[in-house]
Chains A and B, each alone.
Chain A
Amino acid sequence: MTPLAKLLEAALFAASRPLSLESLATLDPESSPAAVSAALDELREHYDVDGHGVEVVEQGGGWQILTRAEYAEAIERAQVAVRPQRLSAAALETMAIIAYRQPIGRAEIEEIRGVAVGSVLKSLHERGLIDIVGRSEGIGRPLLYGTTAQFLEQFGLRHLEELPRADELAIALRGAGSTAVAE
């Protein structure tokens, strides 16, 4: 491995959060972003080819070293680490709406889901999956919510654009006159 790849490996090992390409580039002022990118590829390949228990993954707006999925069960059985709790169906619905419609206020989410979402919002906020991103200009200037980097990380997304666009979903909103019915 090149010295730069080793340096990146050390930094990724030390970090608890995904590291962006920019922050990786600050490790060595001599190296160009292209060189850092190439070294990342080298590191990733090194882990893949030599068969390591961990891998280098791009998600949550950066790069991260993660254990490979096949070891999850053994690790959890031995209580070395615990998987994060799954979100409830209600929380997932709220999360999906915020991911697509952000910035969005509580009333609009409730309109789509048909139920009150106050407590769900609070728990998503506590889990760091959503944050307050501003206030609407509407009556009462309600708070607007958006997704966080933690959301991307927890759902294994590199960036928001990785979610399918609304018109790529099977049931795109075409207006009620359309004949297409899903399923």
Chain B
Amino acid sequence: MIAPAFRVADSDAPAFVVELSQFTGPLDLLLSLIRDEQVDIYDIPIARVAEQFLARIGTLGLDEAADYLEMAARLLRIKAQMLLPRADGEESWEDPRAELVRRLLEYQQMREVVDLLEHRGEERRHQFNRRWVPQTADITPISAPLALTLTDLLGAVDRVLRTAKEPVLHDVVPRALDVAGAMSTVRMVLSLRREARWSDLIGRDAEPWQILSVLLALLEMAKLGELRIAQPRAFGSVEICRDAISEAA
């Protein structure tokens, strides 16, 4: 997960910074070192491997390499444990490398599956299925100019506002928008149910300022990653649901 650090112009930059990006993680790098050294995975010369591991990550920026540094620390601890004297013929000695070996084997096994998936996926990529898509999903890309007449726009505004209560003209109370209040309403609704529709969030006789508050609240919360807004079909009703992924993070 290291971002490739291309430093083409800077000829002094060590070549292995770029090289490291070819590894998918510390276990990948470690496995490759072990392979290069042609040593037995069950009897890793931990001092040598740790030294090389450190050399490879040595010049990386710290924040880039947290996962690698954690592994480096682990290697050094194992190296230290290996140096501890142990009594002759001690039966109960537990190889400090055992856990690392287990992880390396597990990782290597997973890599075998990766090769298999890569192969199958590559084969499948050479075959196309029918590109049948429902006509309604044909939404004009955002970059294109919006093909919309003023009448269309006003009609849409009218449809939204028609759900709103007719304001009583002689009793106009100027009210600012209450986005924070609307956000807590939306949060409350979404805490009770996973999905909601626009019509669930605004009452039957909501006033225009309330509708606008809810709209701004939804956009704000979508931006914050609290919820997701989807419209499966063009002009279909909008689905609002909790963002499960960001919830997990």
Chain A residues in contact with chain B, CB under 8 A? Answer: 13-16, 57, 59, 64-69, 72, 75, 81, 83-84, 86-87, 89-90, 92-93, 95-97, 99-100, 106, 112-116, 118, 120-122, 125, 132, 142-143, 153-157, 163-164, 166, 169-173, 175-176, 178-179, 181-183
Q: Are the CB atoms of A72 and B111 closer together than 8 Å?
A: no
Known A-B contacts A89-B24, A155-B120, A169-B112; A72 and B126 likewise in contact (beta carbons under 8 Å): yes
Q: Are the CB atoms of A90 and B129 closer together than 8 Å?
A: no
A170's nearest neighbour on chain B, judged by CB, is B112
Q: Are the CB atoms of A96 and B120 closer together than 8 Å?
A: no
Q: Are the CB atoms of B125 and A116 closer together than 8 Å?
A: no
Residues of B within 8 A of A112 (CB): 103, 106-107, 110
Complex CA–CA separation, A175 to B103 (angstroms): 10
Q: How far is the CB of B73 from chain A (nearest CB, A)?
A: 13
Residues of B within 8 A of A116 (CB): 1, 67
Q: Total contacts A to B, CB within 8 angstroms?
A: 146
Interface stretch, picked from B9-17, B195-203, B241-249, is B241-249
Known A-B contacts A66-B127, A125-B245, A173-B105; A93 and B116 likewise in contact (beta carbons under 8 Å): no
Q: Are the CB atoms of A115 and B25 closer together than 8 Å?
A: yes
Interface presence of B113 (CB below 8 A): yes
Complex CA–CA separation, A166 to B133 (angstroms): 38
Instruction: Identify which of residues 45-70 in chain B touch chain A, using a CB-to-CB cut-off of 8 Å.
Output: 67
A/B interface sample: 18 pairs, CB < 8 A:
A67-B128, A68-B127, A81-B128, A83-B125, A83-B128, A93-B24, A100-B113, A106-B248, A115-B24, A115-B67, A118-B249, A121-B245, A143-B245, A156-B120, A169-B109, A171-B108, A171-B109, A172-B109
